[in-house]
Amino acid sequence: MTDFFKDCPKISYEGPEGRNEFAFRHYNPEEMVAGKALKDHLRFAVAYWHSFAWPGDDPFGGQTFERPWFTGDMDGARLKADVAFEMFDILGAPYFCFHDADVRPEGATFAESENRLKEITDIFAAKMEATGVKLLWGTANLFSHRRFMSGAATNPDPEIYAYAAATVKSCMDATLALGGENYVLWGGREGYETLLNTDLKRERAQAGAFLQRAVEYKHKIGFKGAILIEPKPQEPTKHQYDYDVATVYGFLKDFGLEDEVQVNIEQGHAILAGHSFEHEIALATALGIFGSIDMNRNDYQSGWDTDQFPDNPREVTLAYYEILKAGGFTTGGTNFDSKLRRQSLDPADLILAHAGAMDVCARGLKSAAAMLEDGGLEAARDARYSGWDGNDLAARDFGSIHAEVFGSTEQPGPQSGRQERLENYISRFV
């Protein structure tokens, strides 16, 4: 045991009237909602990178967090693992997620880096066996190191492409060894700053080949989880190839991967793309590629990805409504890809940020489930499109449609979309 969280008690459910800040008011893990326990609906995961690896820097200032494991060596990595699992226990978090670079220091060679990852993987395996905590997904950091400044899969240097491919292999191996339920590929620098030095067609083809090889390797090693792509329109590059769900789907169709790869959708990235979170989820479910979510918002005053913990029950409700309507998560879950503000220095801040976010998500999911059970929103939607029930108009040719319209004296008129009434309806549940 470490003493990092010595002043933080284990978080338990005390109900909505509770005044204890170290308690859940809405998240009762065992509470049954729509035939399933809340913990099984939500499948909460803690992001290793923001919670334990981020030093609190930004483009205008350096490190603000002073953590005892920020030593840059394997002793620090082992201590970080100890602290992480203590936090999972305090929160009752059933899952976590990690990149290779989050959990081990960079080695002098690729082999040394991989051996360090294997050591931490063994440590994780023992802790997971002892605690029951599971891995929602693993991934590789192919964007932080300077070697990836011009991309990984899309890099103009084939040696860097090779390094990236080897890194993904080692991370997929670690994910398999830990029983991970998904593997995520985020194209952090798979994009471009300017077309003046970019062969867009070539880079896109490289990205497609890279993903095809990842899928092939998944099947080779017998990994049963989902491969997920995480869309983002910009940051860190000016233009990212995985802009949004629609763009990713077009990419998957081009390379014959639409039945092999799903999406991990982040609220903050959806906002950057000019969409709502629920839009991206609804589109992914409609296209059959929905996998998992990162539940972190952006500050609407800022034009960049601020990775803040969720605090808006209405936004969260609308997101979970789309997820529940589509049948809920399978291998996916709710990952808090969220980071503290640079001024939030206390260990308790890290605990309470997650506890509050878990509460907001539980509140939102219960509201979404109540809306679905009530059925008012779906009834209104069905009524709006009722004219198409049993109507074969879309299958008919324009000539026959024209003849019918030309011979009619009827003048079709619009019907109200009733948006405000539906917004009022949602407010009854949130």
The overall average pLDDT reported for the chain is 97
The pLDDT assigned to 1 comes to 87
| Domain's final residue, options 359, 374, 389 | 374
Residues 403 and 362 in one domain: no
Helices 245-254, 277-287: axis angle to 10 degrees equals: 30
The pLDDT assigned to 238 comes to 95
**Cα→Cα distances 313→83, 129, 294, 328, Å:** 30, 34, 16, 18
Residues 110 and 150 in one domain: yes
Residue 4 lies in a domain: no
Residue 6 lies in a domain: no
The pLDDT assigned to 252 comes to 98
Residues 64 and 90 in one domain: yes
Q: What's the average model confidence in pLDDT over 244-269?
A: 98
Residues 267 and 293 in one domain: yes
- Rounded to whole angstroms, how far apart are CA atoms 279 and 257? 22
| Domain's final residue, options 374, 396, 419 | 374
Residues 313 and 394 in one domain: no
- Rounded to whole angstroms, how far apart are CA atoms 266 and 244? 10
Percentage of the chain beyond pLDDT 90 is 99
Residue 159 lies in a domain: yes
Percentage of the chain beyond pLDDT 70 is 100
Is the CB of residue 48 less than 8 Å from the CB of residue 338?
no
- pLDDT above 90 for 84: yes
Q: What's the average model confidence in pLDDT over 246-270?
A: 98
- Rounded to whole angstroms, how far apart are CA atoms 338 and 354? 9
> Tens digits of per-residue pLDDT, 41-52?
999 999 999 999
Name the residues annotated as catalytic.
99, 102
CATH number, domain containing residue 61? 3.20.20.150
Residues 290 and 395 in one domain: no
- pLDDT above 90 for 368: yes
Is the CB of residue 266 less than 8 Å from the CB of residue 238?
no
Domain of 398? 379-427
Residues 64 and 147 in one domain: yes
- Rounded to whole angstroms, how far apart are CA atoms 114 and 118? 6
Residues 394 and 363 in one domain: no
| Domain's final residue, options 374, 393, 410 | 374
> Tens digits of per-residue pLDDT, 268-279?
999 999 999 999
The pLDDT assigned to 241 comes to 97
> What one-letter code names the amino acid at 416?
S
- Please count the other Cβ atoms lying within 10 Å of the Cβ belonging to residue 233: 21
> Tens digits of per-residue pLDDT, 89-135?
999 999 999 999 999 999 999 999 999 999 999 999 999 999 999 99
If pLDDT is split at 50, 70 and 90, which confidence band does 161 have?
very high
- Rounded to whole angstroms, how far apart are CA atoms 211 and 194? 24
CA torsion sign for 267, 269, 272, 276 is: negative
- Strand 36-37 and strand 32-33: pairing? antiparallel
Residue 5 lies in a domain: no
Residues 294 and 395 in one domain: no
Number of domains in the chain: 2
Q: What's the average model confidence in pLDDT over 387-405?
A: 97
If pLDDT is split at 50, 70 and 90, which confidence band does 302 have?
confident
DSSP string, 50-118: IIII--S-BTTB------TTTTSSHHHHHHHHHHHHHHHHHHT--EEEEEHHHHSPPPSSHHHHHHHHH
- pLDDT above 90 for 303: no
What is residue 235's three-state secondary structure?
Answer: coil
Residues 297 and 400 in one domain: no
> Tens digits of per-residue pLDDT, 201-239?
999 999 999 999 999 999 999 999 999 999 999 999 999
- Please count the other Cβ atoms lying within 10 Å of the Cβ belonging to residue 95: 19
Residues 22 and 160 in one domain: yes
Q: Whole-model pTM?
A: 0.97
The pLDDT assigned to 234 comes to 95
- pLDDT above 90 for 149: yes
Residue 75 lies in a domain: yes
Residue 368 lies in a domain: yes
Residue 328 lies in a domain: yes
What is residue 77's three-state secondary structure?
Answer: helix
Cα 84 from chain centroid (whole Å): 20
Residues 28 and 135 in one domain: yes
If pLDDT is split at 50, 70 and 90, which confidence band does 2 have?
very high
Helices 74-91, 347-374: axis angle to 10 degrees equals: 40
Residue 7 lies in a domain: no
